[in-house]
Amino acid sequence: MSDATITNPAIRNGVDTATLFATLDAIKGDPELAKFQFRASNRWISGTHSESTMQGFYGAKQEMGHAAAFYTTADHPAILVGEDKGPTPVEFLLHALAACLTAGIANVAAARGINLTEVSSVVEGDIDLLGVLGLSDEVRNGYQQIKVTFNVKGDDADKLRQVVEQSRKRSAVYDVLTHGVPVSIDVVTG
Amino acid sequence: MSDATITNPAIRNGVDTATLFATLDAIKGDPELAKFQFRASNRWISGTHSESTMQGFYGAKQEMGHAAAFYTTADHPAILVGEDKGPTPVEFLLHALAACLTAGIANVAAARGINLTEVSSVVEGDIDLLGVLGLSDEVRNGYQQIKVTFNVKGDDADKLRQVVEQSRKRSAVYDVLTHGVPVSIDVVTG
């Protein structure tokens, strides 16, 4: 990797900018390539504990997949009558947000020729459980607010701030969390 | 676990309903107990690859934590110029939704005295990457729609459908994904 970085100036922040720009050009030429469907399959284990598998997805006009299946568990902690076998479902929203913004920061910085040395973040979500517990109809079920604090180091501070702002403007997870998305639920029984 | 189930009729679907009802009573008596803050700390590794840590949270009027820290990675697949070191950030939204609804199904069914033998689901999210790639201002960045298909087995089919519906009505993740939440982003540089 470090050899590649030295010999290939197209790789910046670990991002292969030549491939990134080639991908953008390919999609400009054929916008159908940009239509993706991501999927997760979940299986209940016991109580509030379940496990998801993420492998196959559709994109670039074909069925594709991760090189290997990824498995992720979720549970409630003991204080919420779970067995603490994994993070809570709502914590995964915070992870998804941080990871999406951070990937965008690395890509945007690389595309702009800006070097990063550190990107770290803390994401905090405030929630009043009177909603989900059915103890209040005034309190919403979900987070009331989410706060992200980034620590970004690298080239010029003003440029780094602009990179974070551009990442926010084009983040899929930020868009879903701030604007919502239609969700349909079908149930098959027996 | 199976011994406990036999000797303790309060445990159904792996849910300790006695503790669940005691928790609800405690919160009714002191609603401040229901105020929680969940957190994730994320660290950029390289390119689109990052890792989150989830351990500490606030709740029940005190700082608390999972028994151990949970670590979760995210990345983009090769087709999206990543190194495929983890699921994509947007796939974690699908996992969070499935896990939240499934935990709710187990809890609601247990509280209603309904036995479950299987809960599995597939979550599909359609996204047109022309948005995130900055190639269209007409296309949103996030998912255009999410579809969940549950397979639920156990007691009476009508009751199982009502359980799923009640879980949806009180799901924190479903609420956030369908209605959105205010997100603030602060940046510290240098």
8 Å CB contact of A81 and B107: yes
> Quick one: pLDDT at residue A6?
52
Residues 11 through 50 of chain B touching chain A, CB cutoff 8 Å: 13-16, 19-20, 23-24, 27-28, 31, 34-50
Q: Phi, psi (5° rounding) for residue B10?
A: -75, -15
Residue with tokens 């676990």: B1
pTM: 0.96
pLDDT in tens, B137-187: 999 999 999 999 999 999 999 999 999 999 999 999 999 999 999 999 999
HEC-encoded secondary structure of chain B: CHHHHHHCCCEECCEEHHHHHHHHHHHHHCHHHHEEEEEEEEEEEECCEEEEEEEEEEECCEEEEEEEEEEEEECCCHHHCCCCCCCCHHHHHHHHHHHHHHHHHHHHHHHCCCCEEEEEEEEEEEEECCCCCCCCCCCCCCCCEEEEEEEEEECCHHHHHHHHHHHHHCCHHHHHHHHCCCEEEEEEEC
> What confidence category does residue B190 fall into, taking pLDDT thresholds of 50, 70 and 90?
confident
8 Å CB contact of A173 and B119: no
Longest C-alpha distance within chain B, in Å?
61
8 Å CB contact of B44 and A144: no
Going by the DSSP 8-state scheme, the letter that residue A106 receives in this structure is: H
How close is the nearest chain A Cα to the Cα of B2, in Å?
Answer: 12
**Residue range B77-99: mean pLDDT, rounded:** 97
Q: How far apart are CA A24 and CA B134, in angstroms?
A: 9
**How would you write the pLDDT of chain A (190 residues) with one tens digit per residue?**
444 445 577 899 999 999 999 999 999 999 999 999 999 999 999 999 999 999 999 999 999 999 999 999 999 999 999 999 999 999 999 999 999 999 999 999 999 999 999 999 999 999 999 999 999 999 999 999 999 999 999 999 999 999 999 999 999 999 999 999 999 999 999 7
Q: Sort residue B39 into left (φ over 0), alpha (ψ -120 to 50) or beta.
A: beta
Nearest to A148 by CA among A120, A180, A114: A120
How close is the nearest chain A Cα to the Cα of B130, in Å?
Answer: 6
B61 touches chain A (CB under 8 A): no
8 Å CB contact of A14 and B94: no
Residues 128 through 187 of chain B touching chain A, CB cutoff 8 Å: 128-136, 140-153, 157, 160-161, 164, 168, 170-187
ipTM tops the 0.90 cut: yes
Judged against a pLDDT cut of 50, whether residue B1 lies above it is answered with no
> Quick one: pLDDT at residue A8?
72
Contacts of B187 in chain A (CB under 8 A): 149-150, 152, 160-161, 164
B69 touches chain A (CB under 8 A): no
Instruction: State how beta strands B183-189 and B62-74 pair.
Output: unpaired
> Quick one: pLDDT at residue A190?
74
> Quick one: pLDDT at residue B6?
52
8 Å CB contact of B180 and A177: yes
The answer to whether B40 touches B55, Cβ cutoff 8 Å, is no
Judged against a pLDDT cut of 80, whether residue B70 lies above it is answered with yes
Q: How far apart are CA A96 and CA A100, in angstroms?
A: 6
Q: Phi, psi (5° rounding) for residue A50?
A: -145, 165
How close is the nearest chain A Cα to the Cα of B22, in Å?
Answer: 10
Q: CA A136, A97, A70: angle at the middle one, nearest 5? A: 105
